[in-house]
Amino acid sequence: MASTTTSDPDNHHHTFSSIGKAGKSSGEIEGMDVRLLKGYHQSENYSVFAAILPFLFPAFGGLLYGYDIGATSSATINIKSPTSSGVSWYDLSSVQVGLITSGSLYGALIGSLLAFNVADFLGRRRELMVAAASYIIGAVVTTLAPGFAIMVIGRFIYGIGIGLAMHAAPMYIAETAASQIRGRLISLKEFFIVMGMVLGYVIGSVSVDITSGWRYMYATAIPFAVVMGIGMWWLPASPRWILLRAIQGKGDMQELREYAIQCLRRLRGETVDNNSATQEVEDILAELSYISEEGEATLGEMFQGKCLKALTIGAGLVLFQQITGQPSVLYYAASIFQTAGFSAASDATRASILLGLLKLIMTGVAVLAVDKLGRRPLLIGGVSGIVVALFLMGSFYTYLSNVPAVAVVALLVYVGCYQISFGPIGWLMISEIFPLRLRGRGLSIAVLVNFGANALVAFSFSPLQTLLGAGILFFIFGGIAVASLVFILFIVPETKGLTLEEIEAKLL
């Protein structure tokens, strides 16, 4: 059990009545500008035990995303086998295999677009419930698919769940966690994505030679999705989303305030009594009034003022996360191990499991370090390692093909550095950086950029590799990584230890 309590140095205990109505300006809230600008805020009480479930059930959305990546790599092998596919339509073309593989990615793009319009209406909790339903329906349809077309439809529906979950999960975790552990929990969600990948690789390697093994691979996702859906139904709504609705006049202010207090007490556990929960809710309400969260966001506002700055930071990070070549480096993993003469090199699934375990370990390092060292040090250190790894990879394919150890070292350095930087910190920053009123739509744009860039890199890699050669392509990725390092140094702020409202008031 861990808790923390600190008195407010400003000694201004704002009551609910001091806020008045939703339209109060910053000048009408006594002392609030001092609180925000000087970083004074009451430390948030929390119980470690109570924080587990509000993190775990949303994180299942990430686990199911990772599982899909891992399982599909083996499912496409099994379904093409004349002896193991268990279907008469196993003779699939490369385009058909590509549609099975990328069907969930297209669905995720649509899910991200849907989130733009429905996220603030549904709220984070209900959006995750819809995501769980999409996971369940998609997995069932894929598992029972009698033909290729139905299987692709199932993959697409599952992908809608991915888009909604990857949008809502970081928001729910960020808005319900105490600021002291927010970074650690959102980074831990990345750990669940990688854990899902490893689970997918393991289930895939076990089932790849079984008749209709691909059906078992996709069916394994169903119980996890059911647990996620039941868990999100049981969890309370995000107090910050409730208070945003209150300030925007979407319900009775007093009733929504009491509901937010009740939800906050459930989320924080027994260390929070009614008085401290009331005080925290009133502080959030006052800060929301100070930073003018009244009214709904419009599309035009997404590209103006503080949201444009947040969009530049968030979308820039997830764009560089993809276009520095992560899908391409992993594409080469099996051939690199093969070149190096590892005994398991001929078995792509075992090589993938090895890399997945490394990703898990390094993500664990990021989870432990992110709230101690901060976001920027991990990003700068990790991306610097990515630059070195990519230039080593380019050198191997251009000059050093007789020294396979160079490629192996470069691969391991790349994967390790990615998992302490872009992997977890990208998702963490986009969940923190957007103003609350614009967070749902801003994060949907960032997620759309992430999946869109992922698709672009995945589909353009083969023709570019044929046109330029692997060596030149990795040098280009290295140059992009240098640009991303400059972007981090000059554009990305440090958000460690700040409440979400302080991030908006001080950094945007």
Q: Between vectors from CA 84 to CA 102 and to CA 201, what angle results, nearest 5°? A: 50
How much is the pTM?
A: 0.79
Q: What is the pLDDT of residue 303?
A: 77
Count Cβ neighbours within 10 Å for each residue of 291-300 and write b for 16 or more, e otherwise: bbbbeebeee
Q: How high is the pLDDT of residue 266?
A: 87
Provide the number of structural domains found in the chain: 1
Is 27 a domain residue?
no
In a domain? residue 275 = no
For residue 295, what pLDDT is reported?
53
- For the chain, list residues with pLDDT below 50: 1-41, 344-346
Establish how many alpha carbons lie within 13 A of residue 265's alpha carbon, considering only the half-sphere containing its beta carbon.
14
DSSP secondary structure string, 360-393? Answer: HHHHHHHHHHHHHH-HHHHHHHHHHHHHHHHHHH
Q: Is residue 39 part of a domain?
A: no
- The reply to whether 404 falls in a domain is yes
Flag whether 41 is in a domain.
Answer: no
Is the backbone of residue 362 left (phi > 0), alpha (psi -120 to 50) or beta?
Answer: alpha
Does residue 22 lie in a domain region?
Answer: no
Tokens representing 69 are 């990546």
**Per-residue model confidence (pLDDT) at position 434:** 85
Q: How far is CA 236 from CA 161, 188, 189, in A?
A: 20, 21, 19
What is 12-65 written as a DSSP string? ----GGGT-STT--GGGSTTHHHHHHHT--PPPP--HHHHHHHHHHHHHHHHHH
Identify whether 241 is part of a domain. no
Q: Which residue has the tokens 């647990």?
A: 227
- Asked if residue 17 belongs to a domain, the reply is no
**Which amino acid belongs to residue 57?**
F
Q: Can you tell me the distance from the alpha carbon of 152 to that of 154, in angstroms, rounded to the nearest whole number?
A: 5
Cα-Cα end-to-end distance for the chain: 34
Token pair 């995000």: residue = 238
Question: Chain-wide mean pLDDT for the chain?
Answer: 82
Q: Residue 465: give the domain boundaries.
A: 48-236+299-507
Where does residue 305 fall: left (phi above 0), alpha (psi -120 to 50 degrees), or beta otherwise? left
Q: Which string of DSSP letters, residue by residue, matches 124-168?
A: HHHHHHHHHHHHHHHHHHHHH-SSHHHHHHHHHHHHHHHHHHHHH
CA distance 192 to 226: 17
- Residue 174's domain is classified under what CATH number? 1.20.1250.20
Structure tokens at 65: 């995303």
Comparing CA positions, the residue from 155, 143, 154, 158 lying closest to residue 86 is: 143
pLDDT tens digits for range 96-118: 888 888 889 889 999 988 888 77
H-helix or E-strand spanning residue 259:
helix 253-268
57 burial type by CB count under 10 A (0-12 exposed, 13-18 middle, 19+ buried)? buried
